[in-house]
């Protein structure tokens, strides 16, 4: 049943979305966003994987040994950097919101409605 | 919307998505038997073409180096944004006193902590540099090495304490590292244009396979990224740590005052 | 080749400014930013002219398709300039230059970090328009988004931070979906280059993986392009961002996403029947819905920037209907609308910034009669409102004429959105600058807050870019027709050599939007508070749809994400059943 490896990223993404929608704390929400992102890592790496192939590093093996797809791995590396950058920015926003509102509950923080 | 209705909406949407997801998953190439020829072409061509053994680094720094330039600038952009947002509220005073939470005792660091941190910070920094320099031959590269090197700064803080740490790690130096690394990368991409070749062409000698300095321009790009990532994460660490000091002096601007 | 310089130059200048941040006085960095923006604009104009003869291509690192030695395998990344993409890139740089002039002296405290963020934003938008590789598109999409997140949160007020948070979460989810879509497309086609991918897609025809990949990428671009139900973040973000930044957001960032959606759909998926059916049908109805929702919400706002944000959403709906036409005339309408709307909306956001700086508020009811001595701004705002409402001159009107001939649904969308948004802006201008106002209607209970912006810039310096942008929006003529006529078919197929007829025949229906706008504006000016029971129940009936819409636009990020998944389910569902 080779369909199951493709269902794992879908499940991770759905769980992350559920976490975001029911979250009561900004930092928890940011963590759920990271879960959504790891769904994309799993998807990309699964697309590049090949049975019986080794890593695309030919230091110990000659260059003609079967190896997995290096392009997907390079894409995932970029994705990780993207994730780190966005998470840092979100955490900074969370710090500043906490200083001004004293709360980090997404259900109580709405822009442009200062008295609600 | 109230919470239950929101969940009902979400559940309905996810239920509608299930057959589509199943359909797509069934139509994808079977797991472990990819049909794409791009990866195998890289694995076949690059070792001979650029004399490198790390194919991921070859893709990141040479074949798709333009993507890496964009991604590097994105990291710079995010850290600059974080700095603007944190310093904007805090001001730019260079304060060297750690913050103190009233009512909590300040414990002196034990000698064991200081010793272990000094040793491990040095080793971690060296390991980060090692991983970055060998990016074109073994797993690793500028990104990974830069993050490891930046984490050694955290160990340094644990061992030295806030004041001494701030004397070693300076904000201006991190700024220069971060911006300088990205700028040198952009210059390295533009230099081949001056001699009439396409941008980011590998114009330096390729060296020998499995040699430390193989890959031509990849070595330069790798090093630029290492500098920039170290600077970026070091700066992030610095700015977040600065947030922990002197909470009583923090000025939070209110809309009515600005 | 000049093509990579258009992206490398702003990146280089931005990183250099970052290195020298503490050494340079802030005026020098602003001058450097303006000069860079104008230089890249000039480069893109040259590229657009050169691309009329044939698309310009640049392969990075010399990794041309021939280097792989295998058919349908392309190793490197290319930038391709067709006339439309280069024109959009040039327009981007022009908007940035205007924004820099408007923001002179605004961001003094942060030692040129504002210029660094804006130049990186500029580089990302230029790369986004010119790239010919899917993952490279994703990288520039990310850089664009991150710069936007940071710039939105800059004012550090409560609303700015929360608006930026909602913006970041929704758009980050969009970019994860785009990445998943790129992965799926790679899994099926084995390439990331547009031209090669198009070849492989044509050979495969209908395929669930290709449909799934397009669905994910389209969801991301529709999120950035603020189409119902992915649009909820925009009103929060554009309303709280600093005015110079809102100019860029509404002026070019959101319409560039729809432009690239059109490019991808037409260049890659033109021979994929389920995808094209989705584009021609669902996108048309989504555009119409967006135009109606955006227009209605804009009419019911009192905070000027929030009003303008909703009007942007409405006009993006019209642009999406132009995309759904999937023909050279549709692309011509899209380009003309992008340029016309961007210029007018940029002007309006600058005028909102003028009011924030000089009168310390953006609320049209609070500002009643407070703008009486700012007559030039009042005239500009009235004129811009008329243009939004369908004044029969200029770029926007020409685009609307083309849309009227293409489909009745597009005509309805254009009329409804133009009338509601134009009337809202005219009502605000009449209240603020001319003291003409009826009783407040649905806008009375809209969300608003007190805020101000720095006021050290002279009025003439702030109004100068407004006047320039408004003058450009009035442009009309054979040269523009000829250029757009050449550019539109080449957006669909870069190797084409046809020319699309762009001049549209003016019919009586083309005066309908402006007539409706003036009627609605007049009605809001003579409106009186109802005293007798029958008019009171009428007013309560009128309030009901606005209240319902406002309830849905709750400001909670959880709601936004839930609606995004609903929208994604709609897209996926339509693709599965066709």
pLDDT for C456-483, tens place per residue?
778 888 888 999 999 998 888 888 888 8
pLDDT at position A114: 54
Say which DSSP state B52 is in. -
Chain A residues with beta carbon closer than 8 angstroms to that of C168: 86, 89-90, 93
CA angle C171, C177, C178 (to 5 degrees): 90
pLDDT at position C92: 96
Taking alpha carbons only, the member of B207, B179, B202 closest to residue B191 is B202
Window A:25-84, CB contacts with C under 8 Å: 26, 29, 33, 36-37, 39-40, 43-44, 47, 71-72, 75, 78-79, 82
Window A:53-112, CB contacts with B under 8 Å: 55-59, 63-64, 67-74, 77-78, 81-82, 84-86, 88-89, 91-93, 95-96, 99-100, 107
CA within 13 Å, CB half, C312: 38
pLDDT at position B236: 92
Say which DSSP state C405 is in. H
Q: SS3 for B254?
A: coil
d(CA C461, CA C34): 14
Task: Give kind and range of the element (H or E) at residue B247.
Answer: none
Q: SS3 for C120?
A: helix
Say which DSSP state C133 is in. B
Chain C residues with beta carbon closer than 8 angstroms to that of A109: 162, 165
Query: Is the CB of B71 less than 8 angstroms away from the CB of C556?
Result: no
Task: Give kind and range of the element (H or E) at residue C513.
Answer: helix C512-526
d(CA A53, CA B170): 46
The band of C14, judged by pLDDT with boundaries at 50, 70 and 90, is: very high
Chain C residues with beta carbon closer than 8 angstroms to that of A47: 183-184, 186-187
Predicted confidence (pLDDT) at residue B257 exceeds the cutoff of 70 = no
Taking alpha carbons only, the member of C163, C145, C293 closest to residue C231 is C293
**Span C387-417, pLDDT tens digits:** 999 888 888 888 888 888 888 888 888 999 9
pTM score over 0.90: yes
pLDDT at position C512: 86
- The whole-number average pLDDT for the span A35-62 is 92
Predicted confidence (pLDDT) at residue C259 exceeds the cutoff of 90 = yes
More confident call, A63 vs C281 = C281
- The whole-number average pLDDT for the span C348-364 is 88
Using CA atoms, how far residue A14 sits from A19, B11, B12, B77, in Å, is 9, 10, 12, 30
Nearest to C117 among B12, B77, B187 (CB): B77
Predicted confidence (pLDDT) at residue B248 exceeds the cutoff of 50 = no
Window B:150-189, CB contacts with A under 8 Å: none
**Span C15-34, pLDDT tens digits:** 999 988 778 787 888 899 99
**Span C158-217, pLDDT tens digits:** 788 889 999 999 999 999 999 999 999 999 999 999 999 999 999 998 899 999 999 999
More confident call, B94 vs C252 = C252
d(CA B257, CA B255): 6
Chains meeting C at 3+ CB pairs closer than 8 A? Answer: A, B
Predicted confidence (pLDDT) at residue C455 exceeds the cutoff of 80 = no
Chain B residues with beta carbon closer than 8 angstroms to that of C189: 36
Residue of B nearest to A68 (CA): B39
Nearest to B138 among A57, A72, A77 (CB): A57
- The whole-number average pLDDT for the span B18-47 is 90
- Residues making up chain B, counted from first to last: 258
Q: What are phi and psi of C501, to 5 degrees?
A: -75, 125
pLDDT at position C448: 76
Which sign, positive or negative, has the C-alpha torsion B4, B7, B11, B17? positive
Nearest to B186 among C15, C61, C449 (CB): C15
Nearest to A74 among B64, B78, B82 (CB): B64
d(CA C110, CA A84): 24
pLDDT at position C393: 85
Nearest to C146 among B9, B66, B78 (CB): B78
Instruction: State the best of A111, A113, A114, A115 to mutate against chain C, taking most chain C CBs within 10 Å.
Output: A111
Predicted confidence (pLDDT) at residue B1 exceeds the cutoff of 70 = no
Task: Give kind and range of the element (H or E) at residue C205.
Answer: none
d(CA B100, CA C351): 46
C78-81 and C56-59 beta bridge pairing:
antiparallel
Percentage of chain B beyond pLDDT 70 is: 90
d(CA C348, CA C19): 35
Q: SS3 for C57?
A: strand
CA C517 to chain centre: 22
**Span B144-188, pLDDT tens digits:** 999 999 999 999 988 888 888 888 888 888 888 999 999 999 999
Distance from CA of A62 to the nearest CA of B (A): 9
CA angle A33, C18, B145 (to 5 degrees): 55
Distance from CA of C475 to the nearest CA of A (A): 37
Distance from CA of C87 to the nearest CA of A (A): 29
pLDDT at position B97: 66
End-to-end CA distance of chain B: 34
More confident call, C159 vs C566 = C566
Work out the mean pLDDT of chain C and round it to a whole number. Answer: 89
């Amino acid at each position: 049943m080779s369909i199951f490896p493709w269902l794992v990223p879908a499940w991770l993404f759905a769980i992350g979305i559920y976490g975001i929608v029911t979250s009561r704390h900004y930092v928890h929400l940011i963590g759920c966003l990271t879960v959504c992102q790891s769904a994309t890592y799993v998807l990309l790496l699964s697309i590049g994987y090949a049975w019986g192939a080794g890593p695309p590093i030919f230091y110990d093996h000659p260059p003609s040994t079967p190896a997995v797809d290096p392009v997907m791995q390079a894409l995932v590396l970029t994705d990780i950097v993207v994730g780190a950058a966005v998470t840092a920015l979100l955490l900074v926003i969370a710090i500043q919101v906490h200083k001004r509102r004293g709360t980090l509950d997404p259900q109580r923080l709405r822009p442009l409605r200062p008295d609600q | 919307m109230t919470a239950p209705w929101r969940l009902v909406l979400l559940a309905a949407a996810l239920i509608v998505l299930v057959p589509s997801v199943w359909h797509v998953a069934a139509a994808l190439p079977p797991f472990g038997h990819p049909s794409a020829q791009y990866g195998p072409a890289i694995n076949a061509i690059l070792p001979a073409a650029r004399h490198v053994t790390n194919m991921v680094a070859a893709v990141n720094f040479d074949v798709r180096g333009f993507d890496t330039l964009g991604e590097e600038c994105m990291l710079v952009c995010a850290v600059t944004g974080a700095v603007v947002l944190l310093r904007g509220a805090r001001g730019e005073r260079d304060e060297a006193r750690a913050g103190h939470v009233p009512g909590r005792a300040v414990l002196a660091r034990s000698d064991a902590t200081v010793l272990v941190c000094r040793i491990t910070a040095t080793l971690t920094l060296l390991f980060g540099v090692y991983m970055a320099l060998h990016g074109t031959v073994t797993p690793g590269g500028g990104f990974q090495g830069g993050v490891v090197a930046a984490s050694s700064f955290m160990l340094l803080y644990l061992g030295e304490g806030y004041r001494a740490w701030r004397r070693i790690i300076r904000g201006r130096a991190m700024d220069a590292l971060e911006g300088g690394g990205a700028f040198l990368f952009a210059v390295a991409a533009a230099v081949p244009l001056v001699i009439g070749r396409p941008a980011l062409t590998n114009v330096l000698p390729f060296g020998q396979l499995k040699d430390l300095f193989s890959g031509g321009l990849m070595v330069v790009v790798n090093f630029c990224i290492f500098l920039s990532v170290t600077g970026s994460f070091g700066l992030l660490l610095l700015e977040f740590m600065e947030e922990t000091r002197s909470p009583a002096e923090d000025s939070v601007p209110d809309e009515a005052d600005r | 080749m000049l093509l990579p310089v258009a992206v490398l130059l702003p990146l280089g200048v931005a990183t250099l400014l970052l290195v020298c941040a503490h050494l340079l006085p802030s005026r020098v960095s602003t001058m450097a930013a303006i000069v860079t923006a104008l230089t890249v604009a000039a480069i893109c104009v040259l590229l657009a002219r050169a691309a009329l003869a044939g698309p310009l291509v640049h392969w990075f690192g010399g990794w041309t398709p021939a280097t792989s030695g295998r058919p349908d395998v392309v190793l490197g990344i290319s930038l391709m300039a067709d006339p439309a993409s280069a024109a959009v890139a040039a327009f981007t740089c022009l908007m940035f230059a205007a924004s820099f002039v408007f923001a002179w002296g605004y961001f003094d405290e942060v030692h040129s970090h504002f210029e660094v963020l804006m130049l990186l934003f500029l580089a990302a938008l230029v790369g986004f328009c010119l790239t010919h590789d899917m993952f490279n598109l994703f990288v520039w999409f990310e850089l664009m988004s991150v710069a936007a997140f940071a710039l939105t949160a800059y004012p550090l007020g409560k609303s700015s931070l929360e608006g930026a948070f909602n913006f970041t979460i929704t758009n980050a989810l969009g970019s994860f979906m785009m990445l998943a879509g790129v992965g799926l497309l790679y899994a099926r086609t084995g390439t990331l280059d547009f031209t090669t991918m198009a070849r492989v897609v044509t050979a495969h025809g209908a395929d669930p993986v290709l449909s799934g990949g397009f669905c994910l990428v389209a969801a991301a671009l529709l999120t950035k392009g603020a189409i119902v139900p992915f649009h909820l973040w925009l009103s929060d973000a554009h309303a709280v961002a600093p005015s110079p930044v809102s100019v860029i957001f509404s002026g070019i960032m959101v319409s560039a996403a729809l432009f690239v959606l059109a490019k991808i759909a037409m260049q890659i998926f033109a021979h994929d029947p389920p995808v094209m059916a989705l584009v021609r049908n669902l996108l048309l109805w989504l555009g119409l819905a967006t135009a109606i929702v955006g227009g209605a919400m804009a009419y019911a706002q009192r905070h000027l920037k929030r009003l303008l944000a909703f009007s942007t959403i409405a006009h993006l709906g019209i642009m999406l209907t132009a995309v759904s036409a999937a023909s050279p005339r549709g692309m011509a309408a899209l380009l003309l609308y992008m340029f016309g709307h961007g210029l007018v909306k940029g002007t309006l956001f600058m005028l909102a910034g003028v009011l924030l700086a000089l009168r310390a508020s953006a609320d049209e009811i609070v500002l009643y009669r407070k703008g009486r001595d700012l007559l030039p701004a009042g005239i500009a705002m009235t004129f811009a409102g008329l243009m939004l409402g369908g004044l029969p001159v200029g770029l926007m009107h020409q685009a609307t004429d083309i849309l009227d001939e293409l489909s009745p649904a597009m005509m309805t969308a254009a009329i409804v959105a133009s009338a509601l948004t134009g009337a809202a802006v005219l009502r605000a201008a009449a209240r603020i600058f001319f003291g003409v106002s009826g009783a407040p209607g649905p806008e009375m209970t809209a969300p608003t807050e007190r805020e101000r912006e720095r006021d050290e810039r002279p009025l003439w310096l702030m109004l100068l870019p407004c006047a320039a942008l408004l003058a450009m929006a009035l442009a009309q003529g054979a040269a523009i027709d000829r250029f757009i006529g050449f550019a539109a078919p080449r957006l669909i197929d870069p190797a084409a050599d046809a020319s699309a007829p762009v001049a549209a025949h003016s019919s009586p229906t083309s005066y309908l939007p402006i007539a409706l706008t003036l009627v609605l504006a007049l009605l809001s000016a003579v409106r009186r508070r109802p005293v007798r029971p029958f008019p009171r129940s009428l007013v309560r009936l009128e309030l009901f749809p606005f209240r319902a819409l406002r309830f849905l636009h709750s400001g909670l990020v959880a709601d936004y994400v839930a609606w995004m998944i609903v929208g994604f389910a709609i897209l996926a569902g339509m693709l599965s059943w066709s």
